[in-house]
Chains A and B, each alone.
Chain A
């Protein structure tokens, strides 16, 4: 594979982890986070600082990044998840702005110049090639999917879906809604941090602008586009939004406009996403499949 293709694939794979992490919060547990890029950034900065300033290796700074992002998620998420659902959307939006400002204005974080000199990990005595790094990320992504599958079948997954459907009813049925919402938020934040660490080691330098509100919207876009709460939605979303700028460079100028309009159009005409239950793709596909099988076509 050419270096160019590998670079794009790595970006897409990292986006997929990121989209997946938001899907846990928004898709599974039905809570909205509008500042998800902040946790992506916290992971990236944690890994970068531990790597460049403390001299820790990649293999240690990555789990640390996930841990720090998860802890920050717990500290910030618990107070707003205790009150009512709308507060999480608002506070996470604020968190996004504050975290970006902290990276930008506090010299320790490198200011507008960001942090450089973050390398690809060492493996068997030498630095990994990009292709090997891609494989590593794909392994992580695969593991996440296995985890998602297990959680989806578990009591936790069941509790999440009951909260997503109706919080008050879930609570009357014995589900500790705060606890399960916090659980989803921490897990999602930690995984975003993990994605951030991989991102930092891939870009080799990071800047505050990589983790602003626009990025949060893009992550949300990926989840919404693929289909909120579906298992493969995050990958489809990451693939489409990761490829879009590559397919058409001139679109770059209008990229954000396009994301915005896409979100509006999806919610208005295809709210369940490309892989959701009543998506036109799914409907056509099932119809086609039934026709091949010779079965009845459902209306």
Chain B
């Protein structure tokens, strides 16, 4: 029973991590709260669903969703954020909120207000060891998020560009003075973050077996709470916070069966942690 909840919690948490990492990376480098990231997540789900209907292959649709999200993320960075970075820090945030609102509305108008079914046959099958069961979609989520996180870790620690990216997150000016191509790094940040958000959108679409225009509303805010919880800009902190939130949501509702709005858990965890650790779990002053 406990193992079962643990598995559920971790799979929910891994999706949170996929969404939140993009936010934390963008914040780490540009100090922007990229609220529209949740719109990119929803876009990933829609692109995935559309391509699934066209080609009827889940893995191709996952790939398409990720690429679609990455393209959108890049465009947002290039044509919205970069031109207004020199303004006060409020400007990108307001633009981001506006974009997120507009994206949700655009999804509603284009794809219709109702939910669309994303009934993909993944071809992995359920996993059962005794009474312990993982559904096919849980296996999928765990597998895909593990692979993506592994790639991210290898990229950040082993590749030249990953190192440059971490240098930029520490201090943009210094990195630039050492000859790092800052604008390429910023673009890469958005692309990688959006790839992950797109994957999360597709995974959730399949997990819940539906895609709908406002599916990003709760993640928009929950991912922000997770990012703050982990310590704004800290990548390991974000992963840790995602898992913690995923687990506590599952345990609160599944084990203790407290009648409590699930989506408020992240918010309350954030407030509690902020009281004792103002800079989040792994954040620095």
Q: A145-182 toward B: CB 8 Å interface, digit per residue (1/0)?
A: 00000000000000000001000000000000000000
Q: Check B90–A26 contact: CB distance below 8 A.
A: yes
B: contact size bracket: 35 or more
**Whole-angstrom distance between the Cβ of B134 and the nearest chain A Cβ:** 31
- Secondary structure type dominating chain B contacts: helix
Residue A209 interfacial (CB < 8 Å): no
Q: A214-234 toward B: CB 8 Å interface, digit per residue (1/0)?
A: 100100110010001000000
Q: Check B101–A263 contact: CB distance below 8 A.
A: yes
Residue B279 interfacial (CB < 8 Å): yes
Q: Check A90–B225 contact: CB distance below 8 A.
A: yes
Complexed CA–CA distance, A93 and B91 (Å): 17
Residue B267 interfacial (CB < 8 Å): yes
Q: Check A217–B274 contact: CB distance below 8 A.
A: no
Residues of B within 8 A of A90 (CB): 33, 221, 224-225, 228, 270
Q: Check A260–B100 contact: CB distance below 8 A.
A: yes
Residues of A within 8 A of B33 (CB): 86, 89-90
Residue A262 interfacial (CB < 8 Å): yes
A: contact size bracket: 35 or more
Residue A114 interfacial (CB < 8 Å): no
User: B1-28: which residues lie under 8 A (CB-CB) from chain A?
Assistant: 27
Residues of B within 8 A of A214 (CB): 101
Q: B72-98 toward A: CB 8 Å interface, digit per residue (1/0)?
A: 000000001001100111111111011
Selected interface stretch from B40-48, B102-110, B165-173, B184-192: B102-110
Residue A247 interfacial (CB < 8 Å): no
Q: Check B278–A82 contact: CB distance below 8 A.
A: yes
Q: A76-91 toward B: CB 8 Å interface, digit per residue (1/0)?
A: 0001101111110111
Q: A98-122 toward B: CB 8 Å interface, digit per residue (1/0)?
A: 1001000100000000000000000
Complexed CA–CA distance, A132 and B94 (Å): 37
Residue B217 interfacial (CB < 8 Å): yes
**Whole-angstrom distance between the Cβ of B86 and the nearest chain A Cβ:** 10
Q: Check B84–A93 contact: CB distance below 8 A.
A: no
Selected interface stretch from A46-54, A188-196, A264-272: A264-272
Identity of the chain B residue whose Cβ is nearest the Cβ of A101 in the assembled complex: B261
A-B contact count (CB 8 A): 110
Q: Check B91–A267 contact: CB distance below 8 A.
A: yes
Residue B282 interfacial (CB < 8 Å): no
Identity of the chain A residue whose Cβ is nearest the Cβ of B100 in the assembled complex: A260
Residue B124 interfacial (CB < 8 Å): no
Residues of A within 8 A of B99 (CB): 260, 263-264
Residues of A within 8 A of B105 (CB): 254, 256-257, 260
Q: Check B83–A268 contact: CB distance below 8 A.
A: yes
Complexed CA–CA distance, A87 and B104 (Å): 24
Residue B264 interfacial (CB < 8 Å): yes
Residue A97 interfacial (CB < 8 Å): yes
**Whole-angstrom distance between the Cβ of A162 and the nearest chain B Cβ:** 14
Residue B156 interfacial (CB < 8 Å): no
Residues of A within 8 A of B270 (CB): 90-91, 94
Residues of A within 8 A of B80 (CB): 264, 268
Residue A280 interfacial (CB < 8 Å): no
Residues of B within 8 A of A83 (CB): 274, 278-279
Q: B242-285 toward A: CB 8 Å interface, digit per residue (1/0)?
A: 00000000000000000001011001001100110011000000
Complexed CA–CA distance, A51 and B127 (Å): 59
Residues of A within 8 A of B101 (CB): 214, 217, 256-257, 259-260, 263
Residue A32 interfacial (CB < 8 Å): yes
Complexed CA–CA distance, A26 and B275 (Å): 24
> Top 3 nearest A-B pairs by Cβ distance?
A263-B98, A260-B102, A260-B101
9 further A-B contacts with Cβ under 8 Å, apart from A87-B228, A263-B98, A268-B83, are A32-B94, A86-B27, A86-B33, A91-B270, A101-B264, A254-B105, A259-B101, A267-B87, A268-B84
- 30 contacts across the A-B interface (CB closer than 8 A): A32-B94, A79-B271, A83-B278, A84-B232, A86-B33, A89-B93, A90-B33, A90-B228, A93-B221, A93-B224, A94-B225, A94-B270, A97-B221, A101-B264, A213-B217, A217-B97, A256-B104, A257-B106, A260-B99, A260-B100, A260-B101, A260-B103, A263-B99, A266-B94, A267-B84, A267-B94, A268-B84, A271-B84, A271-B87, A271-B91
